Structure 1
Amino acid sequence: MKIRSLFLSSLLCSILFTSCSDDMDDSIDDDVVTNPENVEIRDFIYRGMNEIYLYKSGIPELADNYFDNNDDYEDYLRSIASPEALFDSLTIPLDRFSFLTDDYIELENSFSGISQTTGVDYILYRFSNSNNLFGVVRYIIPGSNAEGTAIARGDLFTEVNGESLNVDNYTSLLSSPSVTFTIAEINDNEVSNTGEEVTIATTEITENPILIQDVLEVDGKKIGYLMYNSFVADFDAELNDAFAYFKSENIDDLVLDLRYNGGGRVSSATRLASMITGSNTGEIFAKQQWNDSYQNYFLATNPDRLFDYFTDNIDDNVAINKLNLANLYVIGTSSTASASELVINGLKPYINVVTIGARTTGKSQASVTLYDSEDFSRQNASPNHTYAIQPLVYESVNANDIVVPYTGIDPDVQIAEELDNFGILGDPSEPLLAAAIAKITGNSQAQSFAAKKMKINYQEFKERGASKPDYKRMYIDKVPGIRINN
């Protein structure tokens, strides 16, 4: 049985795209969300996953002939406790990246670099054999409330708003309207509080993903350094300007710092790769592999749709600034994912790509935002709720059909960020950048890059959950515009 929507809303947004979000929070029907007898949201989730999920064949319930009739289908939806439970049940166990959100307005903002934040970018660690957490400041977002305060890169914190961080309270504490960080330090291989507190109010900011652009002159070489933290299409012009700067400086080599870049829009990744090489316009940057229904459809109707090509321009046909590099040096860590890995993998068939740092995340798939409308587009989405799903829809391989390993990309030069020596981002002595420079110049005498043996037992804290998405992922900006299961 081909599933059709059983509960299409009679009231549809009549204004295009973003204006549908106006006063949305004031018009949500709580009964749609909380009443288990109301299956509108669950119907939307099922239809979306049944339509386009990359791993549809691995979920028996998503088979087109799974239900005998609409009554069986509706009974199935009513048997699921919540939208989150349904979504989780429709993803394969190895899928770490598909997610559900109950606030697509926040999701859309995140894709544009907009967030509610103190401006403190941090990473969380979990003490071994404990539910307690501590955070480490990675950088301060320029122009945020945190800029100019007494908190800086490399600072540790164990308490927020007077409470010790743990796996149960970290989300609510760190998303408070005002956040008080209790600063900590490492003493005798223990993390202990200093007693110093820094209070910062949360506000909405738009973060420029280009944190640093600079040219370093080392051993007679001009080395461009770009720290790029997210593939946000709204900043592609600024990215192009950064490459104009590198081009004007006639750099010899480029260090691309993606250590905190969890991904973003595929088109921005394609443009960045094109700026780096400049000589491969029209050649294949990446190939797309969809579920069987979509793959066969594209092969039969539009085979070119299955390829991402190196390009000559960004929006409004503005020419890209090309460096024509034969070598690229990429800094990556476990936070480097998705579109970042796409750039590394997509460039390898064409130029020499050297990776420095730690093993990356291991995400080769792209996703797309589906809304509760008849064709899953943003226009005419149901006004009764703000749920959206972000399922994986295709896997990328490079021109040589090589995929990013599930375990991540292993570095050519292995070096970790150490808790007691984060260094200053962009400074040639910062350990990861220093290792990249040493690889370029061949001079590794100035610094030892051997990892230190810390006696603190801790591990990076990551959580996969339908209601706790990490928005910085590889995605395409719109649904393909077709319906196969209709």
Structure 2
Amino acid sequence: MRTPSASLRLVATSLAALLVLAAGGGGGGSPGATAGTTTPPPTGQQPPPATAPTPPPATGQQSPEDLNPNLLGEAFGTYWNLCATPRTGVDAKGRPFPDRQGTLLDELKFLRAWTNEYYLWYNEVPNTYRMADFTSALDYFDVLKTPALTASGKAKDRYHFTYPTAEWEAMQNEGIDLGYGLTFARNTEPKIPRTWLVTAVEPGSPAEAAGLRRGDMLTRVDNIDFINASGDAAVDAINEGLFPTSAGTAHRFTFERAGAPFEVTMTGAEVRVDPVKNVKVLDTANGKVGYLSFETHNGVSEKQLVDAFTTFKQQGVSDLVLDMRYNGGGLLYVASELAYMIAGPAATAGKVFERPQYNDKQGADAPIMFRSTAWGFSSPDPIRSGTALPYLGLNRVTVLSTSGTCSASEAVINGLRGADIEVIQIGGATCGKPYGFTPVPNCGTTYFSIEFKGVNHKGYGDFADGLAPTCQVADDLSRPVGDPAEGLLAAALAYRTNNACPAPSAQSRARQVKMELVRPQAKEIAIYPERR
């Protein structure tokens, strides 16, 4: 076992190149407010520098309390769970917290030890930062990454973040988000004026109760001009309204639909998000086509996917449209199960779904194969571990994708192609997240730092710029997801009939503004659970 604890899980990241305003996804609470993650204001301007000091000249000398890098691997076990402020009581599963009394210095030594042993680019981390100069573990973690740039001038490591452990576990095991049940897409350029459009409304959420729909444009938050406001006070007030940090607080919003403004009041709540929706069988002239929209590979999704594929198999589905346009990723074992349920045993037997490649200090880890039985993840409605999975045995599948299709979702596409399954992509290029990491819980915060790169059965994993679509089609916000007349699904059904991409509509040609989903980094990952 290569991880220091069975509770740790390897994770493939898929963090947005541009960070979200404060949180995102299903309108969840702000990780920036509670976990110290870097959270730019909605203006798109860079936030103030972290409180970490400017590094001293690169003398190669460590401060007296810093560890010799050659001994940091051994120090990992020594400093893990030594906390300046230990938690007391039990976690959500009734287990006592592992925290022991320690110091801030212990927490910093723990982070440096982990980085030196497991970070993919450990030999590029500067050793010029003095632990004694830091007053926050989060600020110290922020500098424990490579400062290198890519050829295009972007940061080589854009996937470094933290999340409150309790919130992270609630999202993964229970499918719960704090917020309004609302997902936005935003313009990336220009930053002002801002264009934020509703892309998804969770059934049963405050957003649905308020009557919001796909395509509605946000214009005001608590009577502040959202489109053009600037300045710290306005930005703070907007963040407070958009991303509540606790349930029960009401905020006012103005939206615009077809040019007409309207106001709604929504109260933040814990929203249970169903990751699998719109399961249906479409009768076409060429046979029955299964369709489902799939939003996140979490524990809740495992049973829902099995139920969906059981329905498809019972109804004689001969083709499938898998809608992952907003799926940021999640559990890689769920991704491997999904790929198996599409392709079946004949195409996947003995083949690797995804193989992680680590730094030169780590030995090879066992690859993820195409799983034919359920893992049995914790959820409100779990499936029994070892249950045989239903499968369709398809030699091709159509995937609806956008730049919001990340990580574990990309692994589904890449893994199927590695098994010689034809994957037709309709929509846009995926986000491009081939890297991975182990989320490390320590003292109430879970740390995410790149550890590996994932490749398929053929050894391919070079999609840092995304997986290109077969047909470029704009996301159609004028119709609900799952409507056969909605742009991406209509194009998929048409391609199935005539094997040709549709001509761009006048509307899609006119919309040249690049949009990205607003969601937290923890919603763009792929988790590799430990072996039992």
CA contact (8 A) 2:441 2:447 kept: yes
Question: Normalised by the size of structure 2, how large is the TM-score?
Answer: 0.73
CA distance change for structure 1 residues 451 and 260 in 2, over 3 Å: closer, same or farther?
farther
Cα distance in structure 1, aligned partners of 2:87 and 2:243: 32
Task: Map 1:85-484; keep pairs closer than 5 Å.
Answer: 85-92=139-146, 93-101=155-163, 103-112=164-173, 113-126=175-188, 128=190, 130=192, 132-165=193-226, 168-169=235-236, 170-176=238-244, 177-185=249-257, 194-279=260-345, 280-294=348-362, 296=363, 298=364, 305-314=365-374, 315=376, 316-349=385-418, 350-372=420-442, 382=443, 386-418=444-476, 421-442=477-498, 448-450=503-505, 452=507, 458-460=513-515, 469-478=521-530
- CA deviation digits over 1:298-354, x for unaligned, max 9? 4xxxxxx33111122103211100100001100000000000000000100321111
Deviation at 1:186, TM superposition (A): 6.0
Give the Cα separation in 1 of the matches to 2:337 and 2:266.
Answer: 36
Q: Is the 8 A contact 2:185 2:196 kept in 1?
A: yes
> What is the rounded CA distance, in whole Å, between the counterparts of 2:508 and 2:300 in structure 1?
42
- Say whether the 8 Å CA contact 1:362–1:409 is kept in structure 2: yes
- Structure 2 CA distance, aligned partners of 1:400 and 1:107? 33
Cα distance in 2 for residues equivalent to 1:409 and 1:111: 25
Deviation at 1:106, TM superposition (A): 0.9
Change in Cα spacing, 1:404 to 1:333, as seen in structure 2 (3 Å) is farther
Identity rate, percent:
27
| 2:93 match | 18
TM superposition shift of 1:288:
1.1
1:287 is displaced (CA, Å) by 1.3
Cα shift at 1:21: 7.8
Matched residue SS, 2:94: helix
Taking a change above 3 Å as real, the CA distance of residues 13 and 82 of structure 1, as seen in their structure-2 partners, is closer
CA 1:276 to 1:14, structure 2 compared with 1: closer, same or farther past 3 Å? same
1:455 Cα deviation (Å)?
A: 6.1
SS in 2 for 1:343: helix
Amino acid at match of 1:204: E
- Hey, what does 2:9 align to over in structure 1? none
Q: By how many angstroms is 1:14 displaced?
A: 8.5
d(CA) in 2 for partners of 1:229 and 1:15?
A: 31
For 1:35, the equivalent position in structure 2 comes to none
Counterpart amino acid of residue 357 in structure 1: G
CA displacement at 1:441 relative to structure 2: 1.3
In 2, the alpha carbon distance for the partners of 1:476 and 1:41 equals 25
The one-character-per-residue Cα deviations of 1:169-195 (angstroms, maximum 9, x if unpaired) are 4533211332322112465xxxxxx33
Instruction: Give the TM-score of the pair, scaled to structure 1.
Output: 0.79
Partner of 1:69: none
**Does the aligned pair in 2 maintain the 1:212–1:227 contact within 8 Å?**
yes
Equivalent pairs counted in the alignment come to: 425
Shift of the 451–403 alpha-carbon distance from structure 1 to 2, 3 Å rule, reads farther
Cα offsets for 1:381-403 (capped at 9, x unmatched): x4xxx222012222110111111
Which residue number in structure 2 is paired with residue 302 of structure 1? none
Stretch moving more, 133-142 or 336-345: 133-142
For residue 82 of structure 1, report the CA deviation from its aligned partner. 3.6
**Partner letter of residue 348 of structure 1?**
R
Consecutive unaligned residues of structure 1, counting only runs of 5 or more, are 33-37, 67-74, 188-193, 299-304, 373-381, 482-486
Distance 1:370 1:456 in 2: 41
Write the distance in 2 (CA, Å) between the matches of 1:357 and 1:178. 36
CA distance in structure 2 between the aligned counterparts of 1:230 and 1:310, rounded to whole angstroms: 19
Q: Give the superposition deviation at 1:104.
A: 1.2
Q: Shift in Å at residue 457 of structure 1?
A: 7.5
Cα pair distance change 1:9/1:172, threshold 3 Å: closer
